[in-house]
Amino acid sequence: MAKNRFNKDWMHSHLNDPYVKLAQQQGYRSRAAFKLIEIDEKDRLIRRGMSVVDLGSAPGSWSQVVREKLVGPGGALDGRIVAIDLLPMAPIAGVEFLEGDFREDTVLAQLDAMMGRAPSLDLVLSDLAPNLSGIGSADAARMGHLAELALEFAVHHLKPDGALLIKCFHGSGYSQVVEAFKRTFVTVAPRKPKASRDKSAETYLLGRSLKHGVRPALQASGS
């Protein structure tokens, strides 16, 4: 009974969410688009000519936003977007999609073939989140693991002045993720966009410009 009530309350809240309505009106696949739009307005992350990878991209709202930002005055795409997800994703014009696990060598080999083996990315985005169990410590551990994976991917693929934006949860393990970012990037900043629900522990972490020596150190350690 309580579970049914929770589901009904969530559905009512979701259907009356102004960002859900805005997403429907503006053709975005989810309300998450407005989180990236707000962060980009503040931090000017996305610029024409960039190479961008969107980790955990489905259903594709962040890739939609990136595409809009990369389109030039003539309507042509000025830049490159690769979206990666375990789940299938409906096509987005100009966005290249890899269905698979970005931790797997076969998927990474496909990405290297598309983008070049040398660190070639200007921006890595990750709105990845685990399937939540409701057990705080377990969910925090899963979220921290996803953050580590995104960070490791970014270190090996970002240009020296590149940036990484990931989803995090406040709580157990959050401070460790922040410290890992501070060891890796010159500048680190948390972001809590208005489209992120007030009751949610969700926040975002932005790292910019790799610190000198980070990449060789990680490679030498076998990461």
Active site residues: 167
Query: Which alpha helices (H) appear in 47-135, and where do they start and end?
Result: 61-70, 105-115
Q: Are 53 and 84 spatial neighbours (Cβ–Cβ below 8 Å)? A: yes
CA gap 36, 33 in Å, rounded: 6
The 158-169 sheet, strands edge to edge: 95-99, 80-85, 51-55, 121-126, 158-169, 202-210, 185-191
Residue with tokens 């377990």: 138
**Up-side HSE of residue 192: CA atoms within 13 Å toward CB?**
9
